[in-house]
Each structure stands twice: as C-alpha cells, then as structure tokens.
Structure 1
Amino acid sequence: MQAQSSGATQMNQFRSYVTMLGDPDCKDGLKLKATQEISKHFEMILNSPMYPSFLDHSLKILLKILDEGDPLFISEYNLQQVRKLILEMLYRLPTNDILKPYVRSILQLMMKLLEIDNEENVLVCLKIIIELHKQYKPSFNPSIQRFLQFVKSIYSNLPNHMDNIFEPRPPIKVKDLSEVNMEELLKETFTMTIIQTETRNKDGTLNARLCTCSFS
C-alpha cells in the first residue's frame, strides 16, 4: 500500500513537471530541468498503472509546445534541448492500444515539423513517422502524400547543395550570439557549424553549435 502511495506521489510530481513546461511564465532553465527529470524516469512512468492518464494529460501539453513554439537553431539553447527531449520521449512511447487514439495528432505534427524545424529535431521526427506507420499502418491520406512530396523535394534539390554540404566550413566568429542574423545564416548553412563568441554564452561556454534548417 505504501509503495502504491509512493508511486502515485511520483507520478503526480511528473504531471506537475509537464504542467510547468506549458507555463509561459516558467523560466527556460527550469523547463529544461523538468524535461530532463521526466526523461530520466521515463521507463518508470511507462510502467506505472497511472501511465494512461499521464499520457492523456501530457500529450496535449507536449504537442502544443512543439506546435506553437518557435524552432531554434542553436543546439545549446535551453528550449531547443527541451524540444529535442520531448521528441525523443515521443519516439520512446510504446506503440500499443493506449497510444493509438493519439497517433493521428502526433503524425500530423511531425509532418509539419519536418518542414520547419532544425536538422537534429527533424531526424527524430522522421524516426517517429516511420515507427508509427510501421506499427499502425494508417490509411493513405493527404499527409502521406505531403511527406512523399517532401522527400522528393529533398532529393531533387540535393545536387544544388552538394558542394556546400561537403565543403569544410571554418567556425563563425562573432562577439556575441545576438549579432548573428540567423535567417540569413541558415540560407547558406547545410551542415552543423560552430559559432565562436567572445562573450560567454548562458552555459558559460564560448562556442555554440548552429543546427541547419531541415534540409534547406
């Protein structure tokens, strides 16, 4: 009985972490710590009798964060790490009957993120799409057609970017990350690129990694 009570207390704590992630007034650093805690104990969450209710509560918030939050292209940013951890947890969800009611919403969002998010996140989105289609075999629909068109466009544009993709690129040196015109830089960046700064970043480092846009 005591073990059950302890398990329920822990699950309620994880639910509160998820609620924290959806709070616009919560600081980015706290959101990252909350996400890391959920990810660290994810197997315990999946094996809990309270998992179905946790999933229902969490997916609404997590999918909204991914959908409404702006894609970020600096790997070290707290919210980029939050987004990537959320996607990785979505990939770790067991593909069973409990997840089935949510598959359509997840797939639709993954299709959207394919076209706008950074390379690190898009690779996880692709794994989620492939896994869900393999397990649930959803019927052919416009979203699948959109996915196939997206893949076709990647291969069609690939010859135009081959030199940029494989050409070694030196680190970009700036005084501060705020000087970087991200929109312009992403147009000419096709691989992970180091940005060296004179001023220390929030994490205390002098380097940041620029993630490329999703197959721009």
Structure 2
Amino acid sequence: MRKKKKFYIPTSIVYVNQKPHIGFALEIIQADVLARYHRLLGEEVLFLTGTDENGMKNVQAAKEAGKTPEDFTEEISKRVRDLTKILNLSNDDFIRTTDKKRHWPTVKRVWLKLKENGDIYKKKYRGFYCVGCEAFIKEKDLIGGKCPIHEKAPEIIEEENYFFRLSKYQKQLKKIIEAKMIKIIPETRKSELLSFINRGLEDTSCSRSREKLEWGIPIPDDKTQSVY
C-alpha cells in the first residue's frame, strides 16, 4: 500500500495586540480552500494556524486596556479561535506561543540545537528599534527619522542580545533558490529575494533582555534573555 503524500499548510499566526481583522480572515479562508482541495486528492494534510502572543506590542496593548498580558492575550486568542469556528474552517490544529506544554519545549530544543551548531552567539548591540515592527531598523531606512511603516520614531536601544548567524547561510540559500529546489510564486518574488540576498545577509537579533521583555519564552541556558 502506497503511503499518502503529505501536505503541510501553515498560516501566519495572528498577533493579539488587537481584535482579528478581515486580512486574517482572507488568508485563513484561502488556506482552508487549499487544505480541502488536497484532502480531496487523498493527501495527508496538516493545516495549522494560531496566535502570536509574546512581544512588547502585546504587553503595551494589555497595559492600555488595563489588563494583565495573560488575561489580554487569552481574550484575543479566544476571539481568533471563535473566528475559525464561525468561518467553518478545517484547521487540524491551533497553536499559541504561550503554550508551555507544546510550543515552549519545541522552541527550547531548537534554540539549544542552533547554539550547539554555532549558529547563535551573544554580543552587545546598539540600534534603532521599532516596537511596531518588533525589529531593529537601519538608520538609512528611516524616513525623516521615523519608521517608514508605522511613521513613528524608533527607540534607541543598547543591550546585549543573541544573534542568529544568517550570513553563514547566504551562499547556501542562494544556491537552493537558483537551483529551484524550492518553488517561489510568483517568479518576480524569486528575483526580488535573490536581489535581497545578493546585497548581503546580516546576522539577526533573536533575543531581548528579560528586564525589558519578561513576557516571552525564557532562553533555556540564559535566564536573563527571552527568545524574540
């Protein structure tokens, strides 16, 4: 008996700093159509969605609502789960980044494996940080001293964080894409991605100090930092 072909469909996970909007409904309905189609083909489908509940934006939104991060994220996550039922979606699973039984152990295992491989290192860093983007922004990308997306001045942050050696995989990523080992649709996005890689990939920050962000997954071998 032939083994069933497997098909995995993950959606972006909803950020819970506000109520779910129509953009999420559009994406998850499209994913649902795809999942149902591949099930009709007799494939073994795993359709996964969920909520992203860690991060500074959620802490700030909870504070503005006069609630604890736990209560606030639970409330919004429930709205999203209710939405999947209202829309009659066929998702096989729903994951929350605050799930200490399923999500946290996996993140910690991956972290330790990356560190074992030399893909993660710690260094002091000073840069412009946009809370809305939840990312550091280069000064040259600011417009009038503000984030071009959120139109707000970023914070200047100086702290010791962990970084992922993305630069280490630049040649490998380029080779995989050019060899069409992964399919990128539409083709214009492939050219755009290759152009981005050719400009040079920089190592990316993957943690924050728990003094500034306690609402997150603690790094297993460094309790002063949160995975970010």
TM exceeds 0.5?
Answer: no
* TM-score normalised per structure 2: 0.23
Please state which structure has a larger fraction of its residues in strand.
2
- Flag the structure with more relative contact order, 1 or 2, with Cα contacts below 8 A and sequence separation at least 6: 1
* TM-score normalised per structure 1: 0.24
